[in-house]
């Protein structure tokens, strides 16, 4: 793939009241120079068996071999107890 994810961690934060997922990791441009693809954060919908996907816009420009760190927060809501899958759109 052109970009890779690494060191992705997720945790629940409740310090501001309602629980949120805090998702952190690194994105590396492996074989290309260009804009970073959006992050897709996917949760299983325990009620229906389908999936709920949150697209997190990125777009930073990376040169081949460069790495950036990211951190994002998503309201946990009904997804408390689920482990999200984090991927790069189109990868």
Q: Which tokens in the block code for residue 89?
A: 């759109």
Question: Could you tell me which of 36, 37, 10 has the C-alpha nearest to residue 24?
Answer: 10
Distance, CA of 66 to CA of 82 (rounded, Å) = 31
CA atoms within 13 A on the CB side of 58: 25
Task: Report the percent of the chain where pLDDT is more than 70.
Answer: 100
- Residue 8: CB partners within 8 Å, gap ≥ 6? 23, 24, 25, 26, 86
| Residue 49's pLDDT band (cuts 50, 70, 90) | confident
pLDDT 10s digits, 69-83: 999 999 988 787 788
pLDDT, residue 46, reads 72
Residue 39 pLDDT more than 90?
Answer: yes
* pLDDT attached to residue 12: 93
**DSSP β-ladder status, 61-62 and 20-29:** unpaired
Spatial distance between the Cα atoms of 31 and 40, rounded to a whole number of angstroms: 21
pLDDT category of residue 44 using cuts at 50, 70 and 90:
confident
Q: What is the pLDDT of residue 28?
A: 97
């Amino acid at each position: 793939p052109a970009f890779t994810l690494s060191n992705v961690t997720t945790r629940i934060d409740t310090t501001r009241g309602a629980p949120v997922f805090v998702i952190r990791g690194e994105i590396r441009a492996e074989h290309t120079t260009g804009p970073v693809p959006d992050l897709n954060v996917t949760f299983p919908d325990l009620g229906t068996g389908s999936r709920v996907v949150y697209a997190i816009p990125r777009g930073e420009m990376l040169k081949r071999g460069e790495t950036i760190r990211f951190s994002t927060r998503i309201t946990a809501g009904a997804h408390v107890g689920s482990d999200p899958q984090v991927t790069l759109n189109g990868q």
